[in-house]
Amino acid sequence: MSETFLLRVADRVLNRPLLILQEKLALITQVLSGRIGVEGIGLPESSRFVGDASETDGAGRQVGKLPYRRTAEGTGVITITGSLVNRGAWIGAQSGMTSYEGIAHQIASAVRDRKVRNILLDIDSPGGEAVGAMETAAMVRKAREEKPVYAMVNGMAASAAYAIASGAKAIFSTQSGVSGSIGVVLMHADYSRAVDRAGITPTLIHAGAHKVDGNPYTPLSTGVKDDLQAEVDRYYALFLNAVATGRGRRLSAKAARATEARTFIGQAAQDAGLVDGIGDFAGLLDQLSKSSAASMKKRTSNMSLNMHDDNDIATARAEGRKEGLIEGEKTGREAGYLEGKADGVKEGYEAGALEGRRMGAEDERARIKAILSHAEAKGREASATHLALNTPMSVEDVTGALSGLAKTSSIAARASETITPVAGSEHVPAENMQPGAVPWSSIADKLNAETQRRPGVAR
């Protein structure tokens, strides 16, 4: 195998923060130290036993090749295998590596494909480079806003591979599947003693004090080691944030950190909140196919052009209280069925009801404001307030009713604002009067006095 190839692999492994299992890292370094070559260059391939990678026209003739496999029911299967690298057009499937740019291309293509109704990430990877992993996870999260995206730990989803899986709507694992390894590792190889024994004295001529930090010909200084640790810590923080953003309440950044980069198998991964259900690839694909077929049938009967059968409570926000409850229930049932969560229906109801109540409250405030500010309410404030607050009458009905009522005189209105009489005559005993109330005779005196002061009134 060419030295150039091995140098490229080494450049991606040494002195770089990696989101990869330590055991896999050790294996790679053994391969490099033994100068073992890798045959074959090509694009990473999806599972050859599921779906079809050919694009056909209306007559069934092949007109192109898909970068993923697509089932007849509309599930796009994207396989993620081997160690992960950021840029890797030169990396082939036979090398056991997959590039982030290849994954991103497949996801973007599946989102654009009108025949794809949901996306399944088929993952068997120990992780890989830190650079590019978070961007790929973010792309998965963005894709799930357009179409449902699910991840299957079909063997292993560790480190960078788990970061990618965390962006999916739900993660499922086989019983023996390995998930987790939420951590970062950086390896420095010090060849200084070996070089010295070989009688070789490397001399690094450089400009910039840190240009040759971490070179393999000198031991790490304390300062350089601290700098590399700080770099690892920054990637670790990005990793935790990506997981928390994708998983939400199911796995917070604090909970992810508490795993201390451990790996979890099958049910243990579900108990720790890393995955949402245990099953097998064929079973999950069958459930997704049924879901796609059912939603397609419903859309066809409704003549709807909506390509997405899972927008959570988007319809609830658009339709209001009643539609919010309906959409919340539907979304909750779907999530509970696919993710195996008993509280799916409850969460959907709560989300829809909450949004419905909020929109209902906004509508009610708008109704009251429209009534009280209407021209017909002027001079009839008491009646308008009563009808607005104590009846469900519309703005039109209330203003229509107000138009038939006499307006309160300005003098009486001012008097009613400052004086609180009690029912009865001026002969009500003082001890029986309400606090702040005055006899009706006092009201009459006040109104007479006010009338006498008005211009144009005979005295």
Q: Which fold has domain 3-283?
A: 2-enoyl-CoA Hydratase; Chain A, domain 1 (3.90.226)
Predicted confidence at residue 362, as pLDDT, reads 85
Angle made by CA atoms 251, 256, 260, in degrees to the nearest 5: 155
Cα–Cα distance measured from residue 16 to residue 10, given in angstroms and rounded to the nearest whole number: 10
- CA gap 3, 37 in Å, rounded: 9
CA distance 313 to 205: 61
pLDDT at 193: 92
Instruction: Quote the CA–CA distance of 235 and 307 in Å, as a whole number.
Output: 36
Rounded Cα distance between 444 and 425, Å, is 12
Cβ–Cβ < 8 Å for 322, 358: no
Instruction: Specify the pLDDT at position 426.
Output: 46
Residues 6+ positions from 52 with CB-CB distance below 8 Å: 66, 69, 70, 71, 72
For residue range 187-197, list pLDDT tens digits in order.
888 899 998 89
Return the domain boundaries, the chain. Answer: 3-283, 418-459
Tokens of 113: 């494909």
pLDDT of residue 68: 83
pLDDT of residue 423: 46
235-261 as b/e: b if 16+ CB within 10 A: bbebbbebbbebbeebbebebbbebeb
pTM: 0.57
CA dihedral 171, 174, 180, 181 (to 10 degrees): -150
> Averaged in consecutive runs of 10 residues, what is the pLDDT profile of the chain (459 residues)?
51 58 54 42 48 61 75 89 78 66 92 92 93 94 94 94 96 95 91 91 90 88 92 94 94 95 95 94 85 51 33 46 57 60 62 76 88 88 87 86 71 46 48 53 58 52
**Per-residue pLDDT tens digits for 142-157:** 999 999 999 999 999 9
Give the amino acid at 233. D
Half-sphere exposure of 392 (CA within 13 A, CB side): 1
Cβ neighbours of residue 306 under 8 Å, at least 6 residues apart?
Answer: 299
The pLDDT score that the predictor gives to residue 222 is: 92
Parallel, antiparallel or unpaired: strands 62-70 and 75-85: antiparallel
According to the model, what pLDDT value does residue 159 have?
A: 93
Cα separation of 286 and 292, whole Å? 10
